[in-house]
Amino acid sequence: MELNGMTAPIGILMLESRFPRIPGDMGHPATWPFPVLVRVVPGASPRRVVCEGGGDTLDAFVAAARELVAEGAVGITTTCGFLSLYQDALATAVGVPVATSSLMQVELVNRVLPQGRRAGILTISAASLTPAHLAAARVPKGTPIGTTEAGGEFSRVILNDLPEMDVDLARADTVNAARALAAAHPDLGAIVLECTNMTPHAADIRAATGLPVYSIYDFVCWFRAGLCPTRHPAP
């Protein structure tokens, strides 16, 4: 079956949240240059998914993913990098390709960097990012990890699911955390943003650190490109 590259949607499993989703965030309708279908997963709060390992939400994620596939989604992704824990279960359950986490990029980014350089991760909560999360995304052991949790606005608003955010302060949190990560690891060659809500600040992080920055946006665009390749005109 040939898929229409203009209309075939990606299905997005979104956390049940009320924090602001600004342009560039996965949940903002203007973020994507292709069609998406969004399904909010009941009970999947930011704190439950990030700080509690997902709790008992797997069945709800599977049900929502199956609904998206039934509506025409050609692939499934999520709005939280911590959902790497659900990668295998979702991929087994839905019958279409699944890309749960931006963390899945780390191994690939390492392969394209110059010798002696490696990718690091910027996460919303290093305290909650366990070896199990990293292993599920096949992140190499010893990968440097930076976090915004010592800052103020970004982690505070997202993890507590607050309805208002000072975007400038949140941007400063992510930039400062990225600078600290780069300063602590002179061999850093790139930064992978675990948190999908950091995507709007990727360009600022790149400017501040001078390092390539890879987000869920980049990952999902690549993911969909394989599902719906561009048809070039015949010569």
In a domain, 65, yes or no: yes
- Its domain, for residue 197, covers 102-215
Q: Return d(Cα 17, Cα 162) in angstroms, integer.
A: 9
Q: Return d(Cα 106, Cα 117) in angstroms, integer.
A: 12
Q: Both 206 and 114 in a single domain?
A: yes
For 123-127, what is the mean pLDDT?
97
Q: Both 109 and 201 in a single domain?
A: yes
Rounded to the nearest integer, the mean pLDDT of the chain is: 95
Q: Both 106 and 209 in a single domain?
A: yes
Specify the number of domains making up the chain.
2
In a domain, 132, yes or no: yes
Q: Both 48 and 95 in a single domain?
A: yes
Write down the pTM of the prediction: 0.95
pLDDT at 16 over 60: yes
pLDDT at 6 over 70: no
Q: Both 129 and 192 in a single domain?
A: yes
**Count of H-run helices and E-run strands, the chain:** 9, 8
Q: Both 119 and 191 in a single domain?
A: yes
Q: Return d(Cα 215, Cα 201) in angstroms, integer.
A: 10
The model's pLDDT over 150-159, given as tens digits with 9 standing for 90+, comes to 878 999 999 9
In a domain, 235, yes or no: no
pLDDT at 2: 46
In a domain, 147, yes or no: yes
pLDDT at 112 over 70: yes
Phi, psi of 28 (to 5 degrees): -85, 130
Torsion of CA 132, 133, 136, 139, to 10 degrees: -100
For 75-98, what is the mean pLDDT?
97
Q: Both 119 and 90 in a single domain?
A: no
Q: Return d(Cα 119, Cα 212) in angstroms, integer.
A: 9
Can you state the angle between helices 167-184 and 202-209, rounded to 10 degrees? 40
| CATH code of the domain containing 112 | 3.40.50.1860
The model's pLDDT over 22-41, given as tens digits with 9 standing for 90+, comes to 999 999 989 999 999 999 99
Q: Both 126 and 198 in a single domain?
A: yes
Q: Both 60 and 83 in a single domain?
A: yes
For 4-9, what is the mean pLDDT?
70
Q: Both 97 and 109 in a single domain?
A: no
Q: Both 96 and 107 in a single domain?
A: no
- 1-10, 109-118, 206-215, 217-226: range with lowest mean pLDDT: 1-10
